[in-house]
Amino acid sequence: MKKKKVSEPGLLASGSDWHNNACLNYMSDHGSAYTEGYRRAAEILIGHIDASGRDQDFLVYPVLFLYRHHLELIIKQVISLALKLAEEPDKYQYKKDDHNLNTLWSLAQKLLLDVDDNYRSSEFRIVKEVVKALLKTDERATDFRYAQRNNGTRSLKEIHYVNTRHFGAQMGAASDLLGRIDDGLRYLLDSKAEWNGILDSF
In a domain, 10, yes or no: no
Q: What is the pTM of this model?
A: 0.89
> What range defines the domain where residue 63 resides?
30-200
> How many domains does the chain divide into?
1
**Burial letters for 165-180: b for 16+ Cβ neighbours within 10 Å, e otherwise?**
eebbebbbebbebbbe
**Nearest to 57, CA basis, from 172, 156, 171, 175:** 156
The answer to the question of residue 85 being in a domain is yes
- 91 within a domain of the structure (yes/no): yes
Domain assignment of residue 9, yes or no: no
- Give pLDDT tens digits for 14-44: 999 999 999 998 888 888 999 999 999 999 9
Is residue 17 a part of any domain in this protein? no
Asked if residue 150 is part of any domain, the answer here is: yes
Among candidate residues 174, 177, 181, 176, the one with its CA nearest the CA of residue 115: 181
**1 found inside a domain:** no
Residue-wise pLDDT for 88-137, tens only, equals: 988 888 887 888 999 999 999 999 999 998 888 899 999 999 999 999 99
φ, ψ at 88 (rounded to 5°): -125, 75
Question: 3-class secondary structure for 172-190?
Answer: HHHHHHHHHHHHHHHHHHH
